[in-house]
Amino acid sequence: MLTITCPYCHEERSEEELTFGGEAAVIRPAVPETVSDEQWAEYLYFRDNRKGEQAEQWCCSGGCGQWFKVVRDTVGHEVFCAVPYDHVLASGYAA
Amino acid sequence: MNYNLANLLRQGVAGHRGWPAAWRAPEPKPRYEVVIIGGGGHGLATAYYLAREHGITDVAVLEKGWIGGGNTGRNTTNVRSDYMFPESARMYDLALRLYEGLGRDLDFNIMLSQRGWLTLIHDQHQLETARHKANWLNCNGVDGEIIGPERVREMLPLLNVDDDPRFDVKGAFLQKRGGTIRHDAVAWGYARAADRLGADIIQNCAVEGFDFEDDHIAALRTSRGRIEVGRVGMAVAGHSSVLTEMAGFRLPITSHCLQAMVSEPVRPLLDHVVISPGTGVYINQTQKGELVMGGVLDRYSSYGQRGTFPTIEKVATAAVEMFPALSELRLMRHWAGIVDISPDSSPILGATPVPNLFINCGWGTGGFKAIPAGGFLLSHQLATDRPHEMATAFGLDRFRENRLVDEGAAAGIAH
């Protein structure tokens, strides 16, 4: 079972207590009117969908309710880091 | 060699030691006109229809593992065609009609059992949605009807309807042509037929990269050497994004784990395939007597082809909720496949940004039931360089042009 320690409430949560929010790099353009249709489609639909290490957004939905960032192996589900949402991930990970 | 009575007798007398391999194990040639990546049902069907419908036999199917060892061997073997929109209805019904004739086409018993697909209805909203769907199906010329709770009780005598069930049964949507198939037989039947028509099926051959010439793929770098190629077809389900990343573009796909499990075999107790939107579980009994059951997919992206305990717990408790008698059974096996979920729960078929690379992906949790159509439509694209008119609605361009075919509602289960 996938477990992640929430960087806000510091509790180890199981996958049942967490909500997956997709890839960390997927962020809604701040001013949607200014982006092209192409960029909007990329934001809405297109994904890296990495096999291996991937930076993601998760929510401690069964606990403190905070969103945070995680770097995880999508094959073995090893969690390399779980950090507050405004934390800048090491280079190589978008956003 | 065909599996007929004469051969069975002959081999039986000889102690079953003389059965030849059902397909060759050729060394890859340096060049093929068409290379299909992925030796699951969709890839093998593509090779078969390329030869049968279009006369193209200079074809290789590359499989990184073994034939049918991916999602073709990791599903719950259910088939149905109760999809809503006209584009989907035509395509999924093409798949079911091809399945209905496939045993004869391939001279291979795929053990198609059209025992009826039942989607239970638990409340007024589901009843209205089911009526809506049944009307759509009838408009599209596909069978599907609503039956009342008495008929459901007759069809499913062990269903928990009396003992104050958590999810009351108000009726069901029934597609009589839905049912089950022996999944391995689909892979083996297509493989044997494609091999006999001249296609090379190359197992243990992983694609590691593409060599480009201008914007075209000139060759594939594989674990068994470099293979030059005219056109490339790709049918690798959950691993589509991994391959298209090597080809330089992204897909609107996320890969998720879908799990299923099977009980020990018992005497016949469940004659139909049943899904409950209330418990989120679908269940049927195999011809060996095992109860096969599955639930919703894991909500986070995953390439891990194995199950998890929370899903076992959810599926097993829901199955017992529906059929209390199943609490006596032991689970025997449990498995997972990596499914390719698209934003509109419809497949992605045809052209890509690479002019000689064509895809078949995005079937999500419904890939097995679509195998004949997926192969038929990809072979048409590879042979004619144009999408089949049934496939035009499902191009990759639909996401940029905002023409989604939103079949989320028709999947009948919350994924």
Whether residue B411 has pLDDT greater than 80:
no
Residue A47 to residue B253, Cβ atoms within 8 A: yes
| Element holding B130 (H helix, E strand) | helix B124-139
Whether residue B76 has pLDDT greater than 60:
yes
Range of weakest confidence among B132-136, B228-232, B270-274 = B132-136
Residue extent(s) of CATH 3.30.9.10 domains in chain B: 117-178+255-341
CATH architecture of the domain with residue range A3-84: 2-Layer Sandwich (3.30)
Average pLDDT rounded to a whole number, residues B36-47: 98
User: Do the beta carbons of residue B149 and residue B173 sit within 8 Å?
Assistant: no
Q: Per-residue pLDDT tens for B173-219? A: 999 999 999 999 999 999 999 999 999 999 999 999 999 999 999 99
Q: Which residues pair with B202 in a beta bridge?
A: B62
Whether residue B379 has pLDDT greater than 60:
yes
Residue B309 to residue A41, Cβ atoms within 8 A: no
Whether residue A94 has pLDDT greater than 60:
no
Residue B253 to residue A75, Cβ atoms within 8 A: no
**B103 touching A (Cβ < 8 Å):** no
With tokens 């096969």, the residue in question is B292
CATH 3.50.50.60 is right for the domain spanning B29-108+183-252+343-411: yes
**Please, what is the average pLDDT of chain A?**
92
Predicted confidence at residue B62, as pLDDT, reads 98
Confidence of residue B383 (pLDDT cuts 50, 70, 90): very high
Phi, then psi, of B65 in degrees rounded to 5: -110, -115
Rounded to whole angstroms, the Cα distance separating A82 from B236 reads 31
Q: Which two tokens stand for residue A11?
A: 């509790």
Task: Residue A51: list chain B partners with CB under 8 A.
Answer: 239, 241-242, 255, 303
Q: Which residues pair with A82 in a beta bridge?
A: A70
DSSP structural state of residue B24? -
Burial per residue of B249-258, b for 16 or more beta-carbon CB atoms within 10 angstroms, e otherwise: eebbbbbbbb
Residue B300 to residue A37, Cβ atoms within 8 A: no
**B207 touching A (Cβ < 8 Å):** no
Confidence of residue B410 (pLDDT cuts 50, 70, 90): low
Per CATH, which fold does B117-178+255-341 belong to?
D-Amino Acid Oxidase; Chain A, domain 2 (3.30.9)
**B343 touching A (Cβ < 8 Å):** yes
Shortest CA distance from A23: residue in chain B: B301
Instruction: Calculate ∠ Cα B402-B406-B412, nearest 5°.
Output: 170
Residue B64 has, within 13 A of its CA and on its CB side, a CA count of 14
Residue B399 to residue A46, Cβ atoms within 8 A: yes
**B336 touching A (Cβ < 8 Å):** no
Q: Per-residue pLDDT tens for B144-154? A: 999 999 999 99
Rounded to whole angstroms, the Cα distance separating B228 from B216 reads 11
Shortest CA distance from A2: residue in chain B: B308
Average pLDDT rounded to a whole number, residues A55-80: 96
DSSP structural state of residue B241? H
Average pLDDT rounded to a whole number, residues B300-318: 93
Q: Per-residue pLDDT tens for A15-66? A: 999 999 999 999 899 999 999 999 999 999 999 999 999 999 999 999 999 9
Predicted confidence at residue B88, as pLDDT, reads 93
Phi, then psi, of B75 in degrees rounded to 5: -110, -165
Predicted confidence at residue A92, as pLDDT, reads 59
Average pLDDT rounded to a whole number, residues B386-405: 95
Residue B245 to residue A16, Cβ atoms within 8 A: no
Whole-model pTM: value is: 0.95
With tokens 């097995």, the residue in question is B368
Task: Give the mutation candidate from B253, B301, B339, B399 for the A interface (greatest A CB count, under 10 A).
Answer: B301
Rounded to whole angstroms, the Cα distance separating B107 from B293 reads 29
Task: Give the mutation candidate from B64, B303, B346 for the A interface (greatest A CB count, under 10 A).
Answer: B303
Predicted confidence at residue A95, as pLDDT, reads 46
With tokens 């200014």, the residue in question is A34
Question: Roughly how many angstroms between the first and final C-alpha of chain B, as a whole number?
Answer: 42
DSSP structural state of residue B251? B
**A5 touching B (Cβ < 8 Å):** no
Shortest CA distance from A57: residue in chain B: B300
Domain definitions of chain A by residue range: 3-84
What amino acid occupies position A36?
A: S
Residue A77 to residue B253, Cβ atoms within 8 A: no
Average pLDDT rounded to a whole number, residues B107-112: 96
Reduced 3-state DSSP string for B58-109: CEEEECCCCCCCCHHHCCCCEECCCCCCHHHHHHHHHHHHHHHHHHHHHCCC
How distant, in Å, are the alpha carbons of A40, A64, B245 from that of A46? 10, 30, 12
Helix, strand and coil percent figures for chain A, each rounded to 5: 15, 35, 50
Reduced 3-state DSSP string for B287-324: CCCCEEEECCCCCCECCCCCCCHHHHHHHHHHHHHHCH
**Please, what is the average pLDDT of chain B?**
94
Residue A51 to residue B343, Cβ atoms within 8 A: no
Percent of chain B with pLDDT over 90: 90
Average pLDDT rounded to a whole number, residues B134-156: 94
Residue extent(s) of CATH 3.50.50.60 domains in chain B: 29-108+183-252+343-411
**A49 touching B (Cβ < 8 Å):** yes
| Beta strands B31-37 and B200-202, pairing class | unpaired
Whether residue B46 has pLDDT greater than 60:
yes
Predicted confidence at residue B342, as pLDDT, reads 95
Average pLDDT rounded to a whole number, residues B3-12: 94
Residue B301 to residue A74, Cβ atoms within 8 A: yes
Task: Residue B251: list chain A partners with CB under 8 A.
Answer: 46-47, 49
Residue A2 to residue B255, Cβ atoms within 8 A: no
Task: Residue A20: list chain B partners with CB under 8 A.
Answer: 299-301
Whether residue B415 has pLDDT greater than 60:
no
Whether residue B372 has pLDDT greater than 60:
yes
